[in-house]
Amino acid sequence: MSRLILLNKPFGVLSQFTGGGPGETLADFVRVPGVYPAGRLDKDSEGLLLLTDDGRLQAEISSPRYNKEKTYLVQVEGIPTKDALAQLRKGVILKDGPTRPARARLIDPPDLWRRDPPVRYRKSVPDSWLELVITEGRNRQVRRMTAAVGLPTLRLVRWRIGDWTLEGIAPGAWRELRVGSSSRRRPASRA
């Protein structure tokens, strides 16, 4: 059985155990030896970060060849048009190439914890929330995708990776699961 830790990574925390100041690394939240992040979440993003002691499971979670869906709740500056949502759904062109198609939809503001520091508020510029589901994990991909369609990201929360969700886990808290080999799938074949 492999260990799998579901951490609600707070804003301002690095997705690593060393290299930051007090309160800025995973070591300040997860004191479990032998586990490592399966993928990354940048310092300015919050939400679900998976850690495991199993290298194969780590690769399955983080490698885009397994097509593991990642769901993000994204607060953006502006109101998305139908065209902007269609572009996200089709895939957008970034400097490092086109993204895979995403599932994108406008949602009501989710019931989330308060962020510290809070997101800047501007009376003259409306904001809105999107749910964005992707199967890649490029560096700052969601932020770059929303910016490419004219919707700069204000707040980014990863809510789900595959079947694992952040439901019921407070910022800085974590839950441990035991995962057997039956939960592993072969990589999806590419046509």
Model confidence at 64, pLDDT cuts 50, 70, 90, reads confident
pLDDT at 180: 78
> Can you tell me the mean pLDDT for 14-23?
92
Burial of residue 115, with CB atoms counted within 10 A of its CB: 0-12 exposed, 13-18 middle, 19 or more buried: middle
Q: What are the catalytic residues?
A: 42
The pTM of this model reads 0.91
Looking at residue 91, its pLDDT comes to 96
Q: Give percent of the chain with pLDDT exceeding 70.
A: 94
E-strand spans in 40-173?
46-52, 70-77, 93-94, 97-98, 103-107, 127-134, 153-161, 164-165
Enter the tokens of residue 114: 């308060």
